[in-house]
Structure 1
Amino acid sequence: MITIFGSINIDLVCRTAHLPRPGETVPGSDYQLIAGGKGANQALAARRAGAAVRLVGAVGADDMAAIALSELNAAGTDLASVVTRGPTTGMAIITVDQHAENTIVLSPGANARLVASDLGEGRLGEGDTLLLQMEVPFAESLEAARRAKAAGARVMLSIAPFLPVERAALVDVDIILVNETEAGDLARHLGLPVGPDGAATVATLAEALQRTVIATLGADGAVAAHQGETIRVASLPVVPVDTTGAGDTFAGVTAALLDQGEPLSVAMQYAAVAGALACTREGAQPSFPLRGAIDEALAAVPSFP
């Protein structure tokens, strides 16, 4: 089983011709309220990829909570460990331009009150997977990682949105997930050289940290450094409509396929294709593909058997 310890948000989304410059007001579309949050996103992506998923998170005592959990409920995600803390559910205010680029302002709300003890006792064990992100208190995520590792579970950390992470904080992490920009930011923060491309930077990070490091590369797919081996996977050629949630899709689907016993190369290929498919529809959670759609799309990836 996969346990996601992370954020639950509402995404307030407005589309506009171009992203506003400082001090500029631009006309926008009617807004949409869409379930989001990196923890919830990754949980839904993993669930739609066929995994059994438990979400540990927090919502507020407001009308937004039901909307934030609606897609997860519909998918059959285990929400018994979602708690109500404080008056407001987390909210991301997202602007998307005509090129599918976005800006995001995040109000944490109840996510700031999530604690590691919300994992519960005895809920993680040998062969389970714990997936973490950076939208809840990091100290609590580190304690969750410690508990999971002690129980024999695999621990994955998506360093998004990027925050400087010290080496000591990664002692209980098995797999680090970043995008190409975050890989460079992490390397610079740790005093490591940034390579000429994502693969070189990932290899440097993996060697220095003695951890598996995976970087998404947008249209170029993804690359990993794993036990001295470099793994590259292709993406799926698509016309992007909205890139919001593509990275969360990759993380959730990677976790799902690993949890199902697939090797890392296969998990990454599924995840790269799923992330591409997620870019072809508006919004985060509504765009996450089902396992059948991923299977069908893989036929268009030459490198996949």
Structure 2
Amino acid sequence: MAGNPRVIHTAQALVDEVVEIAGLPRRGQNAMARSYTRYAGGAVNILLAAARSGAECLHAGAHGTGPNGDLVRKVLLAEGIRLSSPIVPDADTGICFVMIEPSAERTFVTTMGAERRITVESLQTCAPAPGDLVCVSGYSLLDPTRKPLQQWLDTVPEGVVVVLDPGVAFADLPEDVRVRALGQTTVWTSNAEEAEALTGVADFRESAVAVADHLPDGATVIVRDGPKGCVVSEGGQSTYVEGFPQIPLDTNGAGDTHTGVLCACRAAGGAWIEAARRANAAGAIKVTRRGPATAPAAREIDAFLASE
């Protein structure tokens, strides 16, 4: 294929409605928000992070008609990211309501809208080629997106790299769904809690190896633990990649930033360990910024690493 492999995302592009609160209210009670902001989020976060690190990016998920879908398209197109699937004509994109506490911890409530209206045919509009990195979210393995996604993944050409970001949803899926998804996975990238939920291994340095036991031969595993960094497991070898602790302002989208930069560096031909180092740096920069889609550009990552 001409040029570098692409980063293609199949999952839900949503609109994040974000409020900052002093703390979560008790059940039945109220909390007053100090701020309210509306962002394009979900898969958008990963695609923006990858595009800002130089990758050619494409969104293959569904997007709706209305103000939410308009915002998603505006943000993606402004960063040079194409959308391959047609607009869903009679539904708008859903929202994720995000509550952020002073600790930078965040809590979510998500609706389902046009972004859940995918088909095998709509996904195939991205036409993946060998070498492309196709990102899959564990949230897409919920109904009603599960069946078309897994049917489509069975058809992708050999050599397409399927990157699974399991999310917290993965652990609660039926066992047969999890086993099938893991069998379709080339790269697993998750936080420590998600890896522990699959393996029962709490230490993220050890859980990466345990995750690999659930994947096809030759698969790569990246398990991150925020400021502690991440572990890359490939070819039976496990490598710890140091993190860059920061005083966090907003952790919403930090994991997405890590995944996007990781994929972009790999698409450019970088080794997984170097990609992980840059992804750790990108996540460290992102947590010092408000908003989910505030991933740094490649030059900012370069400057950050040069200063360490």
Does TM-score exceed 0.5, indicating one fold?
A: yes
2:124–2:152: 8 Å Cα contact kept in structure 1?
A: no
Say if 2:176 is the partner of 1:172.
no
- State the partner residue of 2:29: 24
One-letter identity of the residue aligned with 2:289: R
Amino acid paired to 1:278? K
Confirm or deny: 8 A CA contact 2:195 2:201 kept in the other structure: no
Deviation at 1:173, TM superposition (A): 1.1
Would the aligned equivalents of 1:45 and 1:249 in 2 still touch at CA under 8 Å?
yes
1:47-103 Cα distance to aligned partner (Å, 9 max, x none): 111100111122222122122233211111112435325422110001101111110
- Deviation sequence 1:204-229 (CA, Å, 0-9, x none): 12124343221110110111221111
Instruction: Give the secondary-structure state (helix, strand or coil) at the position aligned to 1:123.
Output: coil
Q: Which runs of structure 1 show a deviation greater than 4 angstroms over 4 or more consecutive aligned residues? A: none
Identify the residue that residue 56 of structure 1 maps to in structure 2: 60
Aligned residue for 2:201?
195
Please give the secondary structure, in 2, of the residue aligned with 1:293. helix
Contact 2:220 2:232 in 1 (8 A): yes
Post-superposition offset of 1:290: 0.8
Change (3 A) 1:12 1:121: closer
SS in 1 for 2:300: helix
Q: After superposition, where does 1:1-305 map in structure 2 within 5 Å?
A: 1-37=6-42, 39-81=43-85, 83-120=87-124, 123-136=127-140, 137-148=145-156, 150-163=157-170, 164=173, 166-187=178-199, 194-210=200-216, 211-285=219-293, 287-301=294-308
**Contact in 1 for aligned 2:58/2:126 (Cα 8 Å):** no
CA deviations over 1:158-179 (Å, ceiling 9, x no partner): 0014323522322221001111
Q: Match for 1:83: what amino acid?
A: I
Q: Is the 8 A contact 1:245 1:284 kept in 2?
A: yes
Moved more, 14-23 or 201-210: 201-210
* Pair 86,157 (structure 1): closer, same or farther in 2 beyond 3 Å: farther
Q: Distance in 2 between matches of 1:207 and 1:151?
A: 21
List runs of 5+ in structure 1 lacking aligned partners.
188-193
Which secondary structure state, in structure 2, belongs to the residue aligned with residue 267 of structure 1? helix
Once the 2 structures are TM-superposed, how far is the Cα of residue 18 of structure 1 from its aligned partner? Answer: 1.2
Map of 1:191 onto structure 2: none
Deviates further, 248-257 or 133-142: 133-142
Structure 1 position 295, deviation (Å): 1.1
The Cα offsets for residues 105-152 of structure 1, whole Å up to 9 and x where unpaired, read as 01121121122321336821122111111333233332332232x342
Question: CA offset at residue 231 of structure 1?
Answer: 1.8
TM value normalised by structure 1: 0.90
Cα separation, 2, equivalents of 1:236 and 1:84: 41
2:15 and 2:94 in contact (8 A); partners too: yes
Tell me the percent identity: 29
| Matched residue count | 292
Q: What's the C-alpha RMSD, in Å, of the aligned pairs?
A: 1.8
Q: Retained in 2: the 8 A contact 1:5–1:132?
A: yes
Shift of 1:24: 2.3
The residue type equivalent to 1:209 in the other structure is L
**In structure 2, distance between residues paired with 1:208 and 1:293:** 36
Letter in 1 for 2:191: N
Letter in 2 for 1:256: A
Q: CA deviation at 1:267?
A: 0.8
Report if aligned partners of 1:46, 1:255 keep a CA contact under 8 Å in 2.
yes
Q: Distance in 2 between matches of 1:272 and 1:249?
A: 9
